[in-house]
Amino acid sequence: MRPFRLSRWGTQILPQGTKQSCQTCLRSRPAYNIRLQSTSGSHAARNLSQIKTKDDRPRFSELSPLQSNLASVATSSSNLPPPPPPPPFGELKRTPSTTIPLQSSLDYPPAPPEKPRFAPEQLPSPPVEAASKSAKLAALHARLALPSRLPLETLARTLVDKSADQDYRFNNHNLAILGQDLMAFHMVEHLMVHHPRLPQAVMYAAQFAFVGPPGLTAITQEWGVEAAAEPGGEVNPGYLQFKRVAPGTPVNIPDAAKQRAHLASSTPGISPEVAEGKLEGTTLEAASGNFVRALFAGIYLHTGAASTYQFFKSHILSRQLELGSLFTFTQPTRDLARLCAREGFESPVARVISETGRLSRHPVFVVGVFSGRDKLGEAAGASLNEARFKASIKALKSWYLYSPQVKGGELMVPSAMEGEKGRGKTWKPAYIDDGEIIV
């Protein structure tokens, strides 16, 4: 038998005259799949098959060293337990027979289930990814000169009313609540600083005129925002989406049962759905107001208070409102007398300044109201009482519409000192009046 050497790729035949001990090679590589090859055949395998015991196991004492090693390898391989079945995907675990430790990076968590994809027609509002592809939405962003930090996705969300999509993650309901508080704060702050003597009722009326639903609807139309005929996922995100109801339909019905019962009993022809607060829909005026409020909230959340106030000045405070038209007096002469008494002025006196056509069908009287040597008001009327009434109203309006003047700048509101806006500024306290005349 020619000598041979076991290698990783099989049996290597050695040249004649070479002596090599295979026992060391077998001991160093017990796990290799050994196959015997020689020029005279597999004598070792043939002898191994002939020597058997009664229990069908070879007796190692009757074998040569090489045959003993071969038999031990064959016996150990035959007694090994069957390999465990492969673990399912995502559940790779360490088995007791594993000799090489597994890395922690191999213990992958189970794959998350894929989110189902719906067609746009099946969604109540446009998907989020459609905002970046809408040219109409990008044009609105540029037309309003919105900050670049305000993403198109947030602008698209401000255009989705709660009546169109009930999911709070995709409608503007939460943003509208925050925006309403922000706009009310800036509006009242501006009125109290620039007109500190306004009565409370007139201040509320001015606030409603600036940031109320009619005013916000006019602003929405001026911005060029169009409303969709019907909300849906296939609609362009640049349209205002809401479920329409007839104009004038009362929305935001109070939840109190007494108020609902009073509404149903006092309003003729009202539907039971409206009386019970179950109406799913809104008007164009209410949806437009929610859109503007939500837009202010989006600017505040993405850019901060400074950009929000600048946007408020550009689009709200730039509008003109005649505050004098909001006053309503029932007894102006009495109110003027109470005001003069509180401020320590002399009692007001009405005097005729000029007149014409006293005995004609159309007389004109010009009457002035004086407090000592100071003229408080002047007006013309067809009678002396009418002229005195109008002169007292003008005197009261000139008092309530007072606005303090600042040299070399405009009045400073308290929010101007917050954050980055207040750096390098000196606070100038605002004028605070004693209040209106309580009658």
Are residues 229 and 179 part of one domain? Answer: yes
In a domain, 385, yes or no: yes
Quick check: 378 and 362 in contact, CB under 8 A?
no
**Do 309 and 351 belong together in one domain?**
no
113 inside domain: no
Least confident segment among 25-29, 79-83, 131-135: 25-29
Would the pLDDT of 370 be above 90? yes
Percent of the chain with pLDDT over 90: 45
Residue 56 φ then ψ, to 5°? 65, 35
Q: Does residue 386 share a domain with residue 306?
A: no
* 428 within domain boundaries: no
C-alpha span between 118 and 120 (Å, rounded): 6
Residues 53 and 135 in one domain: no
- The residues, any chain, with a CB within 8 Å of residue 429's CB and separated by 6 or more, are none
Number of domains in the chain: 3
259 with 198, same domain: the answer is: yes
Does 256 lie in the same domain as 147? yes
Mean pLDDT, the chain, rounded, equals: 76
Structural domain harbouring 363: 329-402
Q: What is the pLDDT of residues 187-233, one digit of tens each?
A: 999 999 999 999 989 999 999 999 999 999 999 999 999 999 888 88
Collapsing DSSP to helix, strand or coil, 370 comes out as: strand
* Model pLDDT for residues 224-261, shown as the tens digit of each residue: 999 998 888 888 999 999 998 877 666 654 443 444 44
- What does R_g of the chain's alpha carbons equal in angstroms? 46
301 with 333, same domain: the answer is no
In contact, 344 and 401? CB cutoff 8 Å? no
Whether residue 438 lies inside any domain: the answer is: no
In a domain, 72, yes or no: yes
Domain boundary among 324, 349, 368: 324
Instruction: Say yes or no: 53 and 68 in one domain.
Output: yes
Both structure tokens of 419: 């954050």
Q: Are both 202 and 286 inside the same structural domain?
A: yes
Q: Name which of 367, 286, 287 is nearest 332 in CA terms.
A: 367
Domain ends where: 309, 324, 339? 324
Q: How far apart are CA 199 and CA 299, in angstroms?
A: 32
The answer to the question of residue 141 being in a domain is yes
> In this structure, are 228 and 244 located in the same domain?
yes
What is the spatial distance between Cα 385 and Cα 352, in angstroms, rounded to a whole number?
Answer: 11
Distance CA 97, CA 77 (A): 14
- In terms of pTM, does the model score above 0.95? no
Which has more confidence, 70 or 316? Answer: 316
- pLDDT for the residue numbered 140: 95
Please, what is the Cα angle at 215 between 414 and 222, to 5 degrees? 105
Is 10 within a domain?
yes
408 domain-assigned: no
**298 and 179 housed in the same domain:** yes
Residues 344 and 281 in one domain: no
| CATH number of the domain within which 265 lies | 1.10.1520.10
Give the end of a domain, one of 308, 324, 340. Answer: 324
pLDDT class for 72, splitting at 50, 70, 90?
low
Owner of token pair 């020689």: 38
CATH code, domain with 370: 3.30.160.20
